[in-house]
Amino acid sequence: MSGYALPIQRLIKEFSRFPGIGEKTAARLANHVLHTSEEEVRSFAESLLDVKRKIHFCSVCFNLAEGSLCEVCADPARDRTIICVVEEPDSLIALETSGEYRGVYHVLHGALSPLDGIGPEQLRIRELIERLAAHPVEEVIVATNPNVPGETTALLLSKLLKERCVKVTRIALGIPMGGDLKYTDRMTLAKCLEFRRGV
């Protein structure tokens, strides 16, 4: 970063704090800001502040929301007897774009990872158990990611939820449409066989 004026160095440092943004990308973003009008930069800064001031966790499912409830929880047409448990709000949005799911959600805000100091207490598991105690639920769909933390979280959830006599299902894992078996990793192929269904 040497060679840049101090304000640019500070901006590069701030941009490089974002996940997936290295120093070179941060420098490109800083240079972009330099060539952008003051009005556009002000609008960008205001949108950042707006997000911090107005976005909170939904009081029911812990999705991101502008009010006390997110759009899904506020929708009276949603089936509240089915809860889909996801790790992050991004996963919820991905499932919503499919247009197939009409139940509600519960966002854990992470997955079990003891090496990173993330245990059950750091996730929204207790709140999920409280939801099940407060309202009748027929099925909980565990839609955590297909990696070690996600699978560990799914295992814990299935154990905890089965104790409460709730049907627990796991999202199917497999080959994407248009995929090729020879390029598919071993774990995905194993899951494809494990979760096979009749045709």
pLDDT in tens, 37-96: 999 999 999 999 999 999 999 999 999 999 999 999 999 999 999 999 999 999 999 999
Domain span(s) for CATH 3.40.1360.10 in the chain: 72-173
What does R_g of the chain's alpha carbons equal in angstroms?
21
Q: Is the pLDDT of residue 35 over 60?
A: yes
Burial zone of 120 (CB within 10 Å; 0-12 exposed, 13-18 middle, 19+ buried)? middle
Q: Which helix (H) or strand (E) holds 99?
A: none
* 1 band by pLDDT with thresholds 50, 70 and 90: low
d(CA 28, CA 16): 11
d(CA 91, CA 199): 28
Q: Is the pLDDT of residue 10 over 90?
A: yes
Using the CB atoms, write b or e for 141-166: b if 16+ within 10 Å. bbbbbeeebbbebbebbbebbeeeeb
Q: Which of 114, 115, 130 is nearest to 62 (CA)?
A: 130
* Structure-block tokens of residue 174: 């497999």
* Structure-block tokens of residue 121: 């207490």
Q: Which fold, 72-173?
A: Dna Topoisomerase Vi A Subunit; Chain: A, domain 2 (3.40.1360)
**Which residues, 6+ apart, have CB-to-CB distance to 1 below 8 Å?**
9, 12, 13, 23, 27
* 193 band by pLDDT with thresholds 50, 70 and 90: confident
| Angle at the Cα of 78 from the Cα atoms of 77 and 81, rounded to 5 degrees | 130
Q: Is the pLDDT of residue 199 over 60?
A: no
Domain span(s) for CATH 1.10.8.420 in the chain: 6-54
**Arch. (CATH architecture) of 6-54:** Orthogonal Bundle (1.10)
d(CA 51, CA 57): 12
